[in-house]
Structure 1
């Protein structure tokens, strides 16, 4: 499943990266399939990086680009352990602006410690998060960062379109909503302890009936006042215990 998600997300990334380019205003310099001259040189352990001929960037194969993307971006961000949709949003952000920035933005969205390292706390928070809200917030943060860059006037239109496309693709991959499970949990909460509430209600009705001069044989033996007080005590005790458990 993780490999399938990587291939799916990589295909989306490459759709936006395109082929070889060497725009003078692009700080990345010569780039092919999103892999910059410097990144390729470091990957191949060529130092200094400019000793690697630009022709090597132009001749980069998809297979090698895939290995670079997996090792330096996907695995580094532990995207394979993130929920569908969030994985793509983080991965593409990392490719575009660096893994550290992408991870820190994710952590800020999830409300965990922002240290740029995806560990158990970040993964746990991502698993519990509303994936669609996290994707929306992450893409908003990413776009806000891009708008603050000096060369946004040159590349801004393309960046904005890319973030919009990634947002759409990520949302399509994310679970439709957590509302159904929350609704189910809500129903279970309502039904939880229903027998206790029924007994308390019967006691309360019995007490009121006795006050009106009616006796219910199943609950006789207690005064109207004591039945009502016991019923109220059960209800308040139940509510109090439930509240304490919720706070634990």
Structure 2
């Protein structure tokens, strides 16, 4: 999938305008919160926030800035999942899931060194990903994807347990965000 297809999928999944009372993010359109839209120069009513501005934000903040384009060169399915996870939970959270999974899969540092779990995909994370994929191949990408999705699912459950209002979203998160 291309980034344009990934953005189209996210926008379709997120839908149009929403202002759910249990959602701490407040008003959103196309899945972009009012806070994010304002931080990127949008000053209008969120009900009419343009789709093309949402797409530009997704490309810049959730694909290019966290370097998922570089992950996609190595592991496209993984990059797609990290993109969607970043949109829903924040790019730093998605990057930490990747880093934790890579650390857990390095056989106690025999395959490549542990890295700091800092939420930033840089040269160390990319080198570990490359080393993992060189060793494990296409099957390795699927295993790494499962590890990231397991961390994502655990976080959704923890969010629902820590804030009962989040239970309103748990079913949809699990149904539409993991493995999609």
2:117 maps to 1:124: no
> Contact 2:96/2:118 (CA < 8 Å) preserved in 1?
yes
* 3-state SS, counterpart of residue 116 of structure 1: coil
Matching residue within 77, 95, 98 for 2:66: 77
- Give the one of 157, 162, 166 matched to 2:171: 157
Partner of 1:49: none
C-alpha deviation, 1:144, in angstroms: 0.4
Rounded to whole Å, the distance in 1 between the matches of 2:102 and 2:7 is 24
Contact persistence 2:149–2:179 (CA under 8 A): no
Aligned: 1:147 with 2:147: no
1:94–1:100: 8 Å Cα contact kept in structure 2? Answer: yes
For 1:161 and 1:14, how far apart are their aligned partners in 2? 16
Q: Alpha carbon RMSD of aligned pairs, Å?
A: 1.6
Give me the whole-angstrom Cα distance separating, in 2, the residues matched to 1:132 and 1:7: 23
How many Å apart are 1:42 and its aligned residue?
A: 0.6
Deviation, structure 1 residue 165: 4.2
Q: 1:137: which partner in 2?
A: 147
Determine helix, strand or coil for the equivalent of 1:148. Answer: helix
Q: Secondary structure at the match of 1:85?
A: helix
Runs of 4+ in 1 over 4 A off after TM superposition: none
Whichever of the two has the greater Rg, that structure is 1
Match of 2:23 among 14, 22, 26: 26
| Higher RCO (Cα < 8 Å, 6 or more apart) | 2
Measure the CA separation in 2 of the matches of 1:132 and 1:31.
Answer: 32
Partner of 1:104: 96
Task: Supply the distance in 1 between the matched residues of 2:129 and 2:3 (Cα, whole angstroms).
Answer: 18
Cα shift readout 1:64-102 (whole Å, capped 9, x = no counterpart):
111101111111221111120111111111110111111
Aligned to 1:89: 81
- Deviation by residue 1:147-188 (Cα, 9 ceiling, x = unmatched): 11113311101101112342xxxxxxxxxxxxxxxxxxxxxx
Contact 1:5 1:80 in 2 (8 A): no
Q: For residue 56 of structure 2, give the secondary structure of its aligned residue in structure 1.
A: helix
Structure 2 regions of 5+ residues with no counterpart? 104-114, 134-139
Equivalent residues, number: 155
Conserved 8 A contact 2:86-2:92:
yes
Structure-2 separation of matches of 1:37 and 1:147? 25
TM-score relative to the length of structure 2 = 0.80
Alignment of 1:223-238 (within 5 A): none
Contact 1:21 1:30 in 2 (8 A): yes
Q: Is the 8 A contact 2:66 2:121 kept in 1?
A: yes
TM score, norm. by length of structure 1 = 0.59
Between the aligned partners of 1:133 and 1:10, the Cα distance in structure 2 is 24
Match of 1:9 among 6, 10, 26: 6
